[in-house]
Amino acid sequence: MFADNVEKVLISEDEIRERCRELGAQISADYEGKDPIIVGLLKGSVPFMAELIKNITVECEIDFMAVSSYSGVESMGDVRIVKDLDRSIRGLDVLVVEDIVDTGKTLQKVKELLYSKGANDVKIVSLLDKPDRRIVDIEAEYVGFTIPNEFVIGFGLDFNQKYRNLPYVGVLKEECYKK
């Protein structure tokens, strides 16, 4: 069983469900009358996005975007769009859904990109936040859980593209990194 590779469960399915209810209520209050577009970053945001939007009660659209980070010669990684949005976001309030804010580089670039496409406002909701690892000055407006500096998997988060389907957030056994 691949779940046997999990060292410990950090955040349970119930805790995630409950936190999504709270975040959904907060977002619904903040976006009252605003008609936002909710943009999930593929692939890590998918389970979180699905759980979160059930709890958002304002009229909204959803869309997805996929970006891939690659580091060139410079130490600052860059971000390339792999799948773009289906529609124009000019003048719209955008809420980006992400699995985790780590160094912050991805979200900083995505934010810049969305503003360059004419968004009126860009805010971020992230399931997880690992503030100890931050390199660039960016914070998500809405955070599910702040976690210590550990590599986590599950509920969308992967290790080599696997484990995204675990229904909780866990820590992978060290031996799995060394295989």
Radius of gyration (C-alpha) of the chain in whole angstroms = 16
- Closest to ligand IMP by CB, 89 vs 101, is 101
Q: What is the closest distance, in whole angstroms, from the C-beta atom of residue 179 to ligand IMP in the complex?
A: 17
Which tokens go with 108?
């900083």
3-state secondary structure of 100: strand
Binding site for ligand IMP (CB under 6 A): 44, 69, 98-106, 151-153, 157-158
Report yes or no: 140 and 126 within 8 Å, Cβ to Cβ: yes
Beta strands in the chain (DSSP E): 6-11, 37-42, 61-71, 77-83, 93-101, 121-129, 142-146, 152-153, 169-172
Is the sign of the CA dihedral 57, 60, 63, 65 positive or negative? Answer: negative
Nearer to ligand IMP, 2 or 151 (CB): 151
Give least dist CB 49 to ligand IMP, A: 13
Q: Residue 31 or residue 163: which is nearer to ligand IMP going by CB? A: 163
Nearer to ligand IMP, 27 or 101 (CB): 101
4, 35, 86, 102: the active-site residue? 102
Q: Is 102 a catalytic residue?
A: yes
**Shortest distance, position 57 Cβ to ligand IMP, whole Å:** 27
As a whole number of angstroms, the distance between CA 56 and CA 23 comes to 8
Pair of tokens at residue 139: 């914070």
Strands across the sheet containing 142-146 = 77-83, 61-71, 37-42, 93-101, 121-129, 142-146
Smallest gap from residue 115 Cβ to ligand IMP (A): 17
Q: Which residues are catalytic?
A: 102
